[in-house]
Each structure stands twice: as structure tokens, then as C-alpha cells.
Amino acid sequence: MAETSGTTGTGPDAEPGPDAEPVAEAAGPPPAGARRSSWTYIGPGIVVAATGVGAGDLVATLIAGSEFGYTLMWAAVIGCLVKISLAEAVGRWHLATGRTLFDGWRSLGGWTTGYFAVYVVIWGFVYGATAMSSSALPVVALFPDGPGLKTWAIVTGLVGLVFVWFNRYAVFEKVMTVMVGVMFVVVVYVAVRVVPDLGASFAGLLPVLPDGSLVYTLGLIGGVGGTITMAAYGYWVNAKGWSDSTWMKVMRIDNRIAYLTTGIFVVAMLVVGAELLHSSSIALSTGDRGLIDLGLVLEERFGTATAKLFLVGFFATSFSSLIGVWHGVSLMFADFVERMRAGRRAEGQEPTGRAAVSRQERSVAFRGYLLWLTFPPMALLWLDEPFGLVIGYGVLGAFFMPFLSVTLLWLLNSSRTPARWRNSWLSNGMLGAAGLLFLVLCVEQVRDLPW
């Protein structure tokens, strides 16, 4: 895929503040000191991909495969390209401007701050309970004679809290990479065991919309790996020590490898759905429990060892999403609080980069949001989610990805971004298509809420 950079130009990449004047750059060679890409640099993209792909996403992919076989393979490929474009845009903003994404949002007006403030509080409350339950499900299946779901959910939440509280990004990245490795090996192994039909797989790359497949198609393109954690990618890029445009090429390689990995996950789960479920007309439960159903099917077909291995992969998928959100969204909240305080003191930007992230990881705001993600949601483990909370969570969550797409288009086509790194026609086309896609998904999600 071609690099989605802006128009070529030269000169040092300025780092404008919130009220900066338009940046003009003369033509010439790329900035000196550009970093060479290397496998040793890969990391933030793996983190964002692992965090964004949760158990619910895998179930949705399985159900799409069970309903339509290989027919929607093309949608999975397009979905990966959309995610590459979105994550690249987030990383490019951080590196080209030296400003965080929330700082960019704040420059667009107070409405962005208001939306984010309400969203991050309600979303975190509901998501915390969902993530803990999802992580506990495979543990309960692995140890059926042990404690129940609620107990394991609390344990996984507390383990995530302690891990993120006492570790910094470097350790966090290593653990996430191990979990991605486990996910990758398990999912690909199961796909190989069911013996994919290669001819049907390649045929599925031709865009076709079977009757009744529109919602599944939109979900495949927009759902897997598409959450608020995509916005956290820029913060993890800074945490890695990438803080200026000399890291742009490295960031792009990192991003593409990450979403190529995600694409393999999605294709493998489609294969499992098509071969194991579609051909046998086996139906799964919706939500995370669908993976428990799949574990039972695998045990009947391939034996206990394969089923247990799959449950280990299920846990790695769910728990990596939990600790990814605990770290990434807490960083975003800490940046939100820091920049709101800076805005009240005086206009101007706070520094970014590894030192800034390290400071935020130790901040009261970061740890306060960690506690918010962990303890209040535990109450929801015993209660049905209140009607108003379900509606608020659904509406705010549905609007986030269109919000991200539109604001990135705005920021990366304006004088807030140095001219060299503004959007090209390809970037604008991909972000525009993503915005329309997520807007349609938003409408569908809001319509499906229990009004």
C-alpha cells in the first residue's frame, strides 16, 4: 500500500501551538535524520491492534463466516486498509506537530472537549464491567470447578489494575507482544486444523453482497480493531520515544505490520466460521459467550487439548484488550486533564514524547481513571445495566469513530499540520470513506438500541 503522507516538501517540521499561524514549507529533500525502519522498533502498532481486537469482534467475525462462508473475505481486507489509514493519521498528527490528539481536538473548539469528557466517563464505566466479564469467561471454562464468573471478573480487573499501576510502557509493550503471539498462534492453528478451502477463500476477495449481509459486511469493515484505542495509538507512539517526524517511516511500518496481523486474525476466524460452523449449520451465541460455544464445538471435533488451547487464546484476546484500555485510555484521560489545566493557566502546548508520557503514567489523573475503570464497574457485575446507561453508552460509543474520522480530516488538512505532512488525496479518500462507513454503522447501532 502506498504511504499516506501529505504532499512532499521540506524544511524542519514546525511544532505549532494551538493558535499557530499557517505553516509554509519550501520544496526540497526530506528532513535530515530520518530514521531507518527496523524490526526492533515495532511495538505501538502491535499494542493498538491487540487492544482493539476483543472477544466480541472475533465472535462477530465467526458469525459472519458461519452465515455467509467465505463470501465476505473482501470486507475483512478492506477493513484492515481502513484501520491502517486511521491509525497512520493518528500517528502522523503526533509526529508531525509535536502535539497530542486531544490537544488537536481542543483546537477545534469546546464541543470536542465536552463530547470527550462525557464519553470517557460513561464509556469507561460500562466498558470496565464488559472487559472484566470477557476476560473471566475463558478462565471459568478452563477451571469449571473453581470460583464463579463474578469472582474471576473481579480478579482479572484487579490484576489489570496492579499491572498497569506499577509498570511503565516498556514492560506493558512486551507483555502485549507476548499476548499477540499467543493469539496469533492459537487462531492460525485452529484455522489450519479446520482445513480452509483456498479456492473459496480467493473467490471471497471479489466484492459480493449476499442477501441480508449488509450489517455483517459493515461490521467486518468497521468493527474489528476499531475503538477509542485507535486514538491512543499516538500516545503509545510517543511512549516508545518517537516524538518527531524523523520517525514517520518507522511509525508507518509499525502500523502496517500491526494491522496485517489483525487481518490474519480476521481471515483465520472467518475460515473457522466458514469451515466449522457454516458447513455444519451450527449457530453460536452472540457476544463473548459465542467463543465458549466454539470451544465446545472444537472439543467435540478435535479433542480436549485443542479446545483448551483455544480458551487460552480467548483469554489472551480478552485480557490484552483489558490492559490495553486500562493503559491507553488512562493516558488519554491524563492528557485531557493536563491540557485542560494548562489551558486555564495560559494558552500554549505541553511537551510530548517519552518523558511526558512517563510523567502522565505517574499522574493522579492516570491512576484515578484506572480506579474508575476497575472499581465502580464491579457493581454492574451484579446488576443489569440501567436503561439510561445503556442508551448513553450506545449513543456516545456509536459516535466516536465518526468523530475520530472527521476530526482527523479536519486537523490534517489545516494549517495546524505542517504542509509536508498534510493529507494526500489517498489519505483524504480513505479517511472520508471511513467517516461515511462509521456514520452508517453509527446510525445502525443507535437504531438497534433498546429505545
DSSP characters for 2-31? ---------S------TTPPPP---S-SPP
At residue 101, the pLDDT reads: 94
Of the listed ranges 244-253, 286-295, 343-352, 357-366, the least confidently predicted one is 343-352
* Sole residue written with cell 514549507: 25
Length of the chain counted residue by residue: 451
Q: Is 45 helix (H, G, I), strand (E, B) or coil?
A: helix
Confidence of residue 319 (pLDDT cuts 50, 70, 90): very high
Report the alpha-carbon distance of residue 130 to residue 66 in Å, rounded.
24
Report the alpha-carbon distance of residue 286 to residue 267 in Å, rounded.
19
Report the alpha-carbon distance of residue 380 to residue 388 in Å, rounded.
14
The predicted model gives 316-337 an average pLDDT of: 94
Q: Is 130 helix (H, G, I), strand (E, B) or coil?
A: helix
Are 151 and 145 spatial neighbours (Cβ–Cβ below 8 Å)? no
At residue 7, the pLDDT reads: 38
Higher pLDDT, 23 or 236: 236
* Sole residue written with cell 499557530: 20
Nearest Cα to Cα of residue 353 among 235, 190, 238? 238
Burial 85-124 (b: 16+ CB within 10 A, else e): bbbbbbbbbbbbbbbbbbbbbbbbeeebbebbeebbebbb
- Which positions ≥6 away from 150 have C-beta within 8 Å? 136, 381, 382
Mean residue pLDDT of the chain comes to: 82
pLDDT at 403 over 80: yes
Listed in order, strand segments (DSSP E) in 110-236 are none
| DSSP assignment string, 395-414 | HHHHHHHHHHHHHHHHHHTS
Nearest Cα to Cα of residue 220 among 238, 204, 236? 204
Are 306 and 190 spatial neighbours (Cβ–Cβ below 8 Å)? yes
Higher pLDDT, 225 or 400: 400
The predicted model gives 244-261 an average pLDDT of: 91
**Torsion-angle region of 295 (φ positive above 0: left; ψ -120 to 50: alpha; else: beta):** alpha
Give the tens place of pLDDT for each residue, 185-234. Answer: 998 999 999 888 888 888 888 888 888 777 778 777 766 556 788 899 99
User: 350 vs 32, 374, 421, CA distance in Å?
Assistant: 25, 28, 21
Confidence of residue 52 (pLDDT cuts 50, 70, 90): confident
At residue 77, the pLDDT reads: 84
Give the tens place of pLDDT for each residue, 56-107. Answer: 777 778 888 888 888 888 888 888 888 889 999 999 999 999 999 999 999 9
pLDDT at 21 over 80: no
Report the alpha-carbon distance of residue 297 to residue 309 in Å, rounded.
13
Q: What angle do CA 125, 130, 134 make, to 5 degrees?
A: 155
Are 285 and 91 spatial neighbours (Cβ–Cβ below 8 Å)? no
Report the alpha-carbon distance of residue 48 to residue 355 in Å, rounded.
20
φ/ψ of residue 34, rounded to 5: -60, 135
Q: Is 417 helix (H, G, I), strand (E, B) or coil?
A: coil
- Which positions ≥6 away from 359 have C-beta within 8 Å? none
Confidence of residue 23 (pLDDT cuts 50, 70, 90): very low
Handedness of CA 212, 216, 217, 219 (dihedral sign): positive
The number of CA neighbours under 13 Å toward the Cβ of 70 is 15
